[in-house]
Amino acid sequence: MTPLPSQPNNTAVPKHYPFILDADFSNDRTDGLHSEFISAKPFNHVVIDNFLSPDHARFLSDNFPKPDNPVWLDWKKRSPHHYGKLGPGNSSKFHLLEPDFKFALHELNSSVFLQFLERVSGIDKLLPDPYYQGGGIHQILHGGILDIHTDFNAYTRLGIFRQLNVIIYLNEQWEPEYGGEFELWNAGRTDGGKCVKSIPPLFNRAVIFKTDKTSFHGHPQEWLAPPPMTRRSVALYYYTAHKLDGFEYTTLTDFQGVRSKDLPQSEQTKPMGRFECCMRSLARLTRHFFPGITALKTRTHEIAPCLNPGDEHYRAYVGPPGDYDLVSAMVFNLLTCAGLRQHHRLLDIGCGSLRVGRLLIPYLNQGNYFGVEPNKWLVEDGIANETGKDLMKLKQPTFHSSHAWKIFSRLSIWTMRLPNRFSAIAAQI
């Protein structure tokens, strides 16, 4: 464990302001850190104690969002592979963070920090992720785990390739009985992998490691600190515009099944509303009359066995990937039962990766499907993987890349420009 020299505090800046990284941030230590990084086992990494100045680390700790902050996604609806793990998913809710804390996160995407990482890793031309996809901040509740895994390293949204992970721990008064040690494995579970290094998540300790399909990591040991103490960390990912030679790149997070825990079932025991009852009845009818849907769902798991909702994959970004085919069939059946016919003109708001559009486009007459989706890459991946370009040429659907609030403001203008107004509007939320 390499401690960095203490960073000087800027006494002219009040403590409630974020700390600005100096232009020579730890410059005098990068040669030694680089040597440690490239020689480390089981894959390139370095562990650095006293990473930030004491006041800087204290600032991050004092302003870290509590578990009840609405910035966090609901972990109970995510995956058994990261039971009890809170994460924001991306930066879409960062406006809910304390403003100076949010600025401090942006500072870790600055040129000064990128240059530091380039010197440590030897990887040039690193890029930050302004969306903080899958990262930013993480918090593990009592009993929480993170299964051993490798991360996605092909970032479809920006067309860049992940190279480094940086984790800064903010756990004060950690004791061995609290567990939650960060483990580095030499291979996956099916290949006989085992833990080679166990790293306690100590306060102001940073771990920088190369991100590829051989960097198996996680914390399968439960976090057992007494509540309300949680396992807190800042997690940042860095990319390059091009692939590095000799590495595999995929959009999947590959969980190894070393450790998982069943998610709470409380949501399933709540009284169902009329809409939920309708959708569940429709699901039963779909399974009865379209038994092939079960096979399609199995195929989804074969294609991407470890995808989680929100992952950078066209089937996962729009919801549970295992339900991709089922949801498309349910919504299509619902629309047709409600009277949608081939000659109708349909506006699909939030069409995503054409989960439903792939059924609606061939069903509707030529030119009668209009899709709206702010994430253009989702539509492109849906066409490439689900419908094919030949169907697009035949049916000539129209796609508009715009945010929902913009399309609603323009909806009346857009519809009046069409020869006929829309017969139906579907909004997928």
pLDDT, one tens digit per residue, over 177-195 is 999 999 999 999 889 999 9
| Residue 24, pLDDT above cutoff 80 | no
Region 90-110 average pLDDT: 94
| Residue 166, pLDDT above cutoff 90 | yes
Q: Kind of pairing, strands 160-169 and 254-255?
A: unpaired
Eight-class DSSP state of 11: T
Enumerate the CATH 3.40.50 domain ranges in the chain, comma separated. 283-427
| Residue 93 contacts residue 73 (beta carbons within 8 Å) | no
| Residue 153, pLDDT above cutoff 80 | yes
Instruction: Give Cβ neighbours of residue 292 (< 8 Å, ≥ 6 apart).
Output: none
- The residue ranking higher by pLDDT, 318 or 135, is 135
Region 103-123 average pLDDT: 95
Mean pLDDT of the chain: 84
Cα distances (angstroms) measured from residue 70 to each of 27, 67, 74, 144: 38, 8, 9, 19
How buried is 146 (Cβ within 10 angstroms: 0-12 exposed, 13-18 middle, 19+ buried)? buried
53, two tokens: 């100045």
- Is 234 strand, coil or helix? strand
| Residue 86 contacts residue 235 (beta carbons within 8 Å) | no
Q: Which residues of 233-253 are buried (b: 16+ CB within 10 A; e: fewer)?
A: bbbbbbbbeeeeeeeeeebbb
| Residue 317 contacts residue 90 (beta carbons within 8 Å) | no
| pLDDT at residue 272 in the model | 46
| Residue 197, pLDDT above cutoff 70 | yes
pLDDT band (50, 70, 90) for residue 384:
confident
Enumerate the CATH 2.60.120.620 domain ranges in the chain, comma separated. 2-255
| pLDDT at residue 296 in the model | 40
If phi > 0 it is left, if psi is from -120 to 50 it is alpha, else beta; for residue 310 that is left
Lowest mean pLDDT among 86-90, 132-136, 222-226, 324-328: 324-328
Lowest mean pLDDT among 75-84, 120-129, 145-154: 75-84
| pLDDT at residue 274 in the model | 47
Alpha-carbon gap, residue 421 to 256, rounded angstroms: 51
pLDDT band (50, 70, 90) for residue 139:
very high
Alpha-carbon gap, residue 203 to 59, rounded angstroms: 12
193, two tokens: 């992998």
pLDDT band (50, 70, 90) for residue 411:
low
Region 381-389 average pLDDT: 89
Query: How many Cα atoms are found within 13 Å in the side-chain-facing hemisphere of 205?
Result: 18
| pLDDT at residue 117 in the model | 96
Residues of the chain above pLDDT 90, percent: 59
CATH class held by domain 2-255: mainly beta
Lowest mean pLDDT among 70-79, 296-305, 377-386: 296-305
| pLDDT at residue 2 in the model | 67
| pLDDT at residue 424 in the model | 87
pLDDT band (50, 70, 90) for residue 22:
confident
The letter for the amino acid at 3 is P
Region 324-346 average pLDDT: 89
Lowest mean pLDDT among 119-133, 196-210, 363-377: 363-377
Lowest mean pLDDT among 24-38, 59-73, 77-91, 135-149: 24-38
Alpha-carbon gap, residue 225 to 36, rounded angstroms: 31
Alpha-carbon gap, residue 354 to 362, rounded angstroms: 12
- The residue ranking higher by pLDDT, 231 or 250, is 231
Alpha-carbon gap, residue 407 to 420, rounded angstroms: 18
| pLDDT at residue 426 in the model | 86
- The residue ranking higher by pLDDT, 237 or 297, is 237
Alpha-carbon gap, residue 78 to 313, rounded angstroms: 15
| Residue 3, pLDDT above cutoff 90 | no
Region 113-142 average pLDDT: 96
Tokens 């195929």, residue? 299
| Residue 204 contacts residue 238 (beta carbons within 8 Å) | no
How buried is 45 (Cβ within 10 angstroms: 0-12 exposed, 13-18 middle, 19+ buried)? buried
| Residue 38, pLDDT above cutoff 50 | yes
Alpha-carbon gap, residue 175 to 182, rounded angstroms: 14
Region 94-110 average pLDDT: 94
Residues of the chain above pLDDT 70, percent: 80
Closest CA relative to residue 326, chosen from 289, 361, 370, 351: 289
| pLDDT at residue 13 in the model | 42
Region 299-307 average pLDDT: 45
Sign of the torsion angle spanned by Cα atoms 304, 351, 275, 334: negative
- The residue ranking higher by pLDDT, 330 or 278, is 330
| Residue 342, pLDDT above cutoff 90 | yes
| pLDDT at residue 287 in the model | 47
| Residue 288, pLDDT above cutoff 80 | no
CATH number of 283-427: 3.40.50
pLDDT in tens, 257-286: 899 998 887 544 444 454 445 545 555 554
pLDDT band (50, 70, 90) for residue 8:
very low
| Residue 204 contacts residue 161 (beta carbons within 8 Å) | no
